[in-house]
Amino acid sequence: MKTLALQRFDVAIRRATPFMLTLFVVLLKFVPLPVPDYGLIAPDFVLMAVFYWTVHRADLMRPAVVFVVGLLDDILSGVPLGLSALTLLLVHWTIVSQHRAFRSRSFAIIWCGFALIAVGVQVLVTVLALVIGGAPVQPIVFAAKLAITVGLYPALAWVMGCAQRAFLVEA
């Protein structure tokens, strides 16, 4: 009986890995670095994490989880509430509806998919920043943020992949 409860707890913790790691990534995003304008060009780690887990374990990265992650990101970054939540939900929906395109493809194809989604997200955020915040985004900032986000995806995917192999072996 006791072993059963422990096993259940173990499974629950393991299944929470994507959520916990994505939460950690949200906090990591805010670490102040001594780079000029870091806030503007900081890579979108949260998008990377949500993308990775939706592609590889959509059963553990449910819309509710995506919503909570997005809302926390909004709260801590001070942007209008619901903005990241909405963007990430749309990303989630896009990946789930196109899951055949991502299923068991090579990493290069998944990376291309991520680049496409990152462009879409960046355009959406830029338009929303202009409409809601009245803040124009300079093209150079747009390009730099996109390049850094897409360029760093393999690194984050590698870390997440290690965690996936370590904690979610049965999949």
**Which residues sit at the interface with other proteins, rule CB under 8 A?**
27-28, 30-40, 42, 62-64, 66-67, 70-72, 75-83, 85-86, 89-90, 93, 125-126, 129, 132-138, 141
**Minimum gap (Å) between residue 59 Cβ and other proteins:** 11
**Minimum gap (Å) between residue 1 Cβ and other proteins:** 28
Q: Which amino acid is at 19?
A: F
CA distances to 12, 28, 30, 59, 72 from 23, rounded to whole Å, are: 16, 9, 12, 17, 8
Q: CA 54, CA 64: separation in Å to the nearest integer?
A: 12
Q: How many residues in total does the chain contain? A: 171
Q: CA 88, CA 41: separation in Å to the nearest integer?
A: 19
**Minimum gap (Å) between residue 109 Cβ and other proteins:** 25
Q: Which is nearer to other proteins, 32 or 169 (CB)?
A: 32
Q: Are the CB atoms for 116 and 108 separated by under 8 Å? A: no
**Minimum gap (Å) between residue 146 Cβ and other proteins:** 12
Q: Are the CB atoms for 18 and 60 separated by under 8 Å? A: yes
